[in-house]
């Protein structure tokens, strides 16, 4: 019965009404991001942010790695969920988008938890892997360019502790992954990643239809 459930606007509205209310600060950041136009689709929803907060609390996360920040909504969500001694390492390539997030992080009083690294993510991740004294992360979130998803996932697994969680966004790509007519680079990269990760013996996996599709991977 449940496997045939179809989400329409009314059912999504019901889920939204039965999700804790989006904080006012989050709403303002979301609306400012939406004003950017079509690119705002890169922003996660409050339903997804709320789920990620819950997952972080369930595993007792204090160290969180984010690959792909955009305007900082997911970073804000996680920074408010982590305990006072929590730390976030956030990687992005765009100074202008992340500057928007910085304003809201400061207003929320969580900017002191966040270390933002601008530049090529793979370069930064390689440096972290080679830094022997770096404590492992409890949780990682991947929401960046799609062709590099396998590399980001591999780095995340190397940096997350056993029992830690890696979340990958956009694995359903607005349904394009099952559309035979969709052959663009991003769709092809996501399909290839989804197929490959199913064979990865390093993790326990679950794909869930939240937002644009989330892959949850628990490191063995």
Does residue 73 contact residue 26 with C-beta atoms inside 8 Å? yes
Q: Which CATH superfamily is domain 2-219 in?
A: Vaccinia Virus protein VP39 (3.40.50.150)
Sign of CA dihedral 169, 173, 174, 175: negative
* Domain extents in the chain: 2-219
pLDDT of residue 38: 94
Q: What are phi and psi for residue 168, nearest 5 degrees?
A: -115, 125
pLDDT of residue 62: 98
pLDDT tens string 59-114? 999 999 999 999 999 999 999 999 999 999 999 999 999 999 999 999 999 999 99
pLDDT of residue 78: 98
Ramachandran area for residue 72 (φ above 0: left; ψ -120 to 50: alpha; else beta): left
pLDDT of residue 12: 86
CA distance 20 to 152: 31
The mean pLDDT values, 10 residues at a time, for the chain of 220 residues are: 69 92 97 96 95 98 98 98 98 97 98 98 96 91 97 98 98 94 95 97 96 96
């Amino acid at each position: 019965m449940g496997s045939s459930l179809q989400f329409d606007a009314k059912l999504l509205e019901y889920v939204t009404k039965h999700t804790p209310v989006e904080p006012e600060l989050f709403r303002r950041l979301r609306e400012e991001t939406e004003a950017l136009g079509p690119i705002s689709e890169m922003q996660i929803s409050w339903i997804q942010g709320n789920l990620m907060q819950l997952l972080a609390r369930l595993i007792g996360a204090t160290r969180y790695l984010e690959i792909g920040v955009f305007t900082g909504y997911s970073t804000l969500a996680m920074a408010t969920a982590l305990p006072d001694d929590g730390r976030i390492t956030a990687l992005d390539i765009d100074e202008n988008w992340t500057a928007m997030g910085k304003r809201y992080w400061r207003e929320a009083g969580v900017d002191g938890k966040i270390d933002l690294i601008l530049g090529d993510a793979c370069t930064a991740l390689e440096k972290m892997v080679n830094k022997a004294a770096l404590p492992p992360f409890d949780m990682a979130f991947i929401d960046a360019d799609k062709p590099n998803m396998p590399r980001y996932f591999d780095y995340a697994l190397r940096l997350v502790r056993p029992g830690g969680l890696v979340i990958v966004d956009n694995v359903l790509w607005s349904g394009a992954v099952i559309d035979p007519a969709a052959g663009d680079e991003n769709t092809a990269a996501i399909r290839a990643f989804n197929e490959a990760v199913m064979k990865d013996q390093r993790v326990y996996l679950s794909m869930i239809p939240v937002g644009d599709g989330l892959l949850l991977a628990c490191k063995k």
